[in-house]
A and B are shown apart, each in its own frame.
Chain A
Amino acid sequence: MATLSGVAKRYGTGTLAVEGVDLALARGDFLALLGPSGCGKSTLLRMIAGLIDPSEGSIAFPADAAARKSIGFVFQEPTLMPWATAVRNVALPLELAGTPRREAALRATDMLARVGLAGFENAYPRALSGGMKMRVSIARALVTKPRLLLLDEPFAALDEITRFKLNQDLLQLWQAERFTVVFVTHSVFESVFLAERIVVMAPRPGRIVTELAVPAEDRATPEFRTSAPYAAHCREVSHALESAMA
């Protein structure tokens, strides 16, 4: 789906945020970018989204050039328009692309129901809880049926319980639709629970140090989050992260 080769980003301030990143994303991947604060995860994600250009190297969408235009993005904060209701917020990407208002509203309503917010169409963001706002944000990212979904620490600001629930729901949506996901996090547990591919990054300069896999068979274990394979993967990823930072 996307191929990053030799990607580097130096900001105007002189900070070398990431350097020498090679990464191939296959269709249907669920990939977690894991690393300590400041290792360039957000920078990398924003380059994949095309929001900023790499200073060196290239990001190509070889097999599927249209995928570059089919991206959903979820920020760390819900980033909703406070003056618009939930349904208008979700309908925004469709309306910007010229979908008639009514059709956009219908599709947005469907999407809200899929993230568990049926009945909250006409609520304004300030009337929603943190978790609900995040769901609206996810619905907005998915309403265009993107092939690539990019999430930048989407649940970092939420409490553990809400976060757990949203992780499960995201996983279900992914299993149903099989879009490609890049999920930025600095939680080892979250990365192992969600992702099949875990890419570990290190700072100064931001770079990829190793990649680990969580096979689908392991994930299929019932009660995965409390299973032995889960614990084993968490330990493995933690070690990788520690040696990356050493």
Chain B
Amino acid sequence: MNPRVLKWLAPLVVGVLFLGGWEWMVRAREIPHFILPGPWLIAQTLVRDWHTLSGSLWITLQITFSALAAAAILGLVLAILFAQSRVIEMSLFPYAVILQVTPIVAIAPLIIIWADNVLLALLICAWIVAFFPILSNTTVGLNSADRNLVDLFRLYGASRWQVLMRLRLPTAMPFFLAGLRISGGLALIGAIVAEFVAGTGGRESGLAYRILEAGYQLQIARMFAALVLVSATGIAIFAAMSWLSHMLLRRWHESAGEQP
């Protein structure tokens, strides 16, 4: 069979079998909805509660993408600073590591207390999680320029700025994009985890709060519906970042051959 078809068909068959089996089991054993709803009920709930859920999805998306954008910009700027000066790198890098290794659940309560706006607090949490892969990847990338090319630039009397713009940044591009791909998923996780910790309600709530709320009310189908949206968002972000990376690198980078 055509491998391209197989690539799509095989997981699709597995998915359909899995969902079918699930639905069948729930019906055959008459499992109550508040323990395990079937996929069909989850789909119906998703449609019925779309109004509330989409509002929350929108909030979560906003937090995730603002955090990702902030992580990308700050990560890039800081990596460039690191590449320019060893002293800056040596003085700041340990703190970036500390920020990375401290579990976000442990810092989130503090941040929520300090930031007077919950959305801002969530954004900061998501940013902290998303920031490090971009910083470390880009730092490695900026330092990976071909030795001989560096010499060539020196031979032609290139300025620091020219070396950065024409050599180091293009070299770092695939590294930065790989970091962005990891950080996309992490920003979503950060946004969700922080909201769990915050546990806020009201109009301005993201998907995590919908999951908590549905749990309290034993509306398990709704909980699943929110979960489906979280997963779908994660997949969409990963696909979007892969696509972006593919488009930017396809002309010249080896990795771009493997992407969709």
Contact = CB atoms under 8 A, between A and B. Distances in A.
Contact of A82 (B152, B153, B156, B253): B253
B170 A81 contact: yes
B148 A49 contact: no
B155 A49 contact: yes
A79 interface: yes
A124 interface: yes
Contacts of A71: 155
Interface in A113-143: 124-126
Contacts of A126: 252, 254
A79 B252 contact: no
A38 to B, nearest CB: 18
Interface centre among A93, A97, A144 (most CB of B within 10 A): A93
Nearest to A88: B166
A96 interface: yes
Contact-size category for A:
20 to 34
Contacts of A125: 252
Interface in B145-177: 146, 148-149, 151-158, 162, 166-167, 170, 173
Interface in A80-128: 81-84, 92-93, 96-97, 124-126
Contacts of B158: 96
Given A79-B149, A83-B170, A96-B162, A73 B155 contact: yes
A49 B170 CA distance: 26
A96 B157 contact: yes
B152 to A, nearest CB: 7
A75 B149 CA distance: 10
By DSSP majority rule, is chain B's interface helix, strand, loop, or mixed?
Answer: helix
A29 interface: no
Interface centre among A75, A82, A84, A97 (most CB of B within 10 A): A82
Interface in B234-258: 251-254
A129 B251 CA distance: 16
A125 B252 CA distance: 8
A77 interface: yes
Contact of B252 (A46, A82, A96): A82
Contacts of A62: none
Nearest to A46: B151
Given A51-B151, A124-B251, A125-B252, A81 B156 contact: no
Interface string A35-77: 0000000000010011100000000000000000101010101
Contacts of A97: 156-157
Contacts of B170: 81, 83-84
A49 B152 CA distance: 10
A83 B252 contact: yes
A69 B155 CA distance: 8
A79 B254 contact: no
A46 B146 CA distance: 16
Interface centre among B154, B167, B252, B254 (most CB of A within 10 A): B252
Interface of A: 46, 49-51, 69, 71, 73, 75, 77, 79, 81-84, 92-93, 96-97, 124-126, 144
Given A51-B154, A79-B152, 7 more contacts: A81-B167, A82-B252, A83-B253, A92-B156, A96-B157, A96-B158, A96-B162
Q: Which 9 A-B pairs have the closest CB atoms?
A: A79-B148, A96-B156, A83-B170, A83-B252, A75-B148, A93-B156, A96-B158, A82-B252, A124-B252
